[in-house]
Structure 1
Amino acid sequence: MTPPTALAYWIIGGVFLASLIAPLIIGKDGWIVPLVVLPFAVIYAVFDRRMRSRQGGV
């Protein structure tokens, strides 16, 4: 894994972690934040994995 790819995963992980903490800060309506963030994280992971497999860098 290249440093830029690793950095992207660290950033996505941090955003997802922050989204899990958001309901504690926002209140009862904050549960939607992780539901919005999770699909983007999964889509990025799948897209990145496919791109790396096409380049032979898995």
Structure 2
Amino acid sequence: DAEVARIHAEEEIQEKEQVKKQKSSEEAPESKMPTEEVSEDKIKEMMQLVPVEDV
């Protein structure tokens, strides 16, 4: 179950990243905020830790 949850979490992250990229490119393609990249990395780290804690 934990592995399934991890896979679903990764899929959600990928979907959210695609939406963020689409929104950022639509709103302001020239200005890429470094804070967005940092937050995405932190989200990845958090989501990877969640299934481990659930086990």
Q: Which 4+ stretches in 1 moved above 6 angstroms?
A: none
How high is the TM-score relative to the length of structure 1? 0.51
Which residue is 2:11 aligned to? 10
Structure 1 unaligned runs (5+)?
Answer: none
1:1-58 alignment to 2 at 5 Å? 2-27=3-28, 31-32=32-33, 35=36, 37-48=39-50, 51=52
Looking at structure 2, the residues matched to 16 and 46 of structure 1 have their Cα atoms a distance apart, in angstroms, of: 16
Question: How many Å apart are 1:39 and its aligned residue?
Answer: 3.4
Structure 2 unaligned runs (5+)?
Answer: none
Question: Highest CA radius of gyration, 1 or 2?
Answer: 1
Identify the structure with bigger relative contact order (alpha carbons < 8 Å, sequence gap 6+).
2
SS in 2 for 1:31: coil
- The count of aligned residue pairs is 52
CA RMSD, Structure 1 to Structure 2 (Å): 3.2
When residues 42 and 12 of structure 1 are mapped into structure 2, their CA distance, relative to the original with a 3 A threshold, is same
How high is the TM-score relative to the length of structure 2? 0.53
Spell out, residue by residue over 1:13-43, the C-alpha distance to the aligned partner (whole angstroms, 9 max, x if none).
11012112222221258633x7164133232
